[in-house]
Amino acid sequence: MAHTQDPVIIVGGGIAGLACARRLNGRGVKVQVLEATGRVGGRIKTDRKDGYLLDRGFQVLQTAYPEARRVMDYQRLDLRHFAPGAMVRIRGRFYALADPLRRPGALLDTLAAPIGSIMDRLRLLRLARRVTRGPLDGLFRQPESTAMQFLRAEGFSDTMIRRFFTPFFGGVCLDPQIQASSRVLQYVLRMFARGEAALPAGGMQQIPLQIAADLSMACLRSGVRVRQARKDGVTLDDGTVMPARAVVVATEAPAADKLLGYPHPGRSVAETCLYFSCDQADWHQSFLMLNGEGRGPINNIAFPSRVSSEYAPAGKSLASVVVLGNPDGGDVALTDRVRAQLVDWFGPQAGNWDHLETYRITHALPDQSPPTKNPTCPDPRVRPGVFVCGEHGSLPGIQWALVSGRLAADAVLARLGY
Q: What is the pLDDT of residue 253?
A: 84
pLDDT of residue 412: 98
SS3 content of the chain, % helix, strand, coil (to 5): 35, 25, 40
Contact status, residue 78 vs residue 59, Cβ threshold 8 Å: no
What is the distance between the alpha carbons of residues 184 and 139, in angstroms, rounded to a whole number? Answer: 8
Which strands make up the sheet holding 226-230, listed edge to edge?
A: 226-230, 233-236, 241-243
Given CATH 1.10.460.10, say whether it is the number of domain 8-44+205-266+372-416: no
Give residue 12's pLDDT: 97
Beta carbons of 24 and 261 less than 8 angstroms apart? no
- 151: buried, middle or exposed (CB in 10 Å: 19+, 13-18, 0-12)? buried
Nearby residues of 196 by Cβ (< 8 Å), 6 or more positions away? 62, 63, 64, 81, 82, 84
Give the model's pLDDT for residue 381.
93
Alpha helices in 140-203 (DSSP H): 147-153, 158-160, 166-173, 182-194
- Write down the pLDDT at residue 100: 62
Q: What residue ranges of the chain are covered by domains with CATH 3.90.660.20? A: 46-81+198-203+268-366
Delimiting residues of CATH 3.50.50.60 domain(s) in the chain: 8-44+205-266+372-416
Q: Torsion angle of alpha carbons 246, 225, 207, 71, nearest 10°?
A: 0
Bridge partners of residue 304, in order along the sequence: none
pTM: 0.94
- The closest of 51, 97, 74 to 310, measured between CA atoms, is 51
Distance of CA 230 to the CA centre of its chain: 30
- What confidence score (pLDDT) does residue 54 get? 98
What pLDDT does residue 102 have? 64
Question: What pLDDT was estimated at residue 268?
Answer: 86
Which regions in the chain score pLDDT beneath 70? 1-3, 99-109, 264-265
Cβ–Cβ under 8 Å, residues 22 and 412:
no
CATH number of 46-81+198-203+268-366: 3.90.660.20
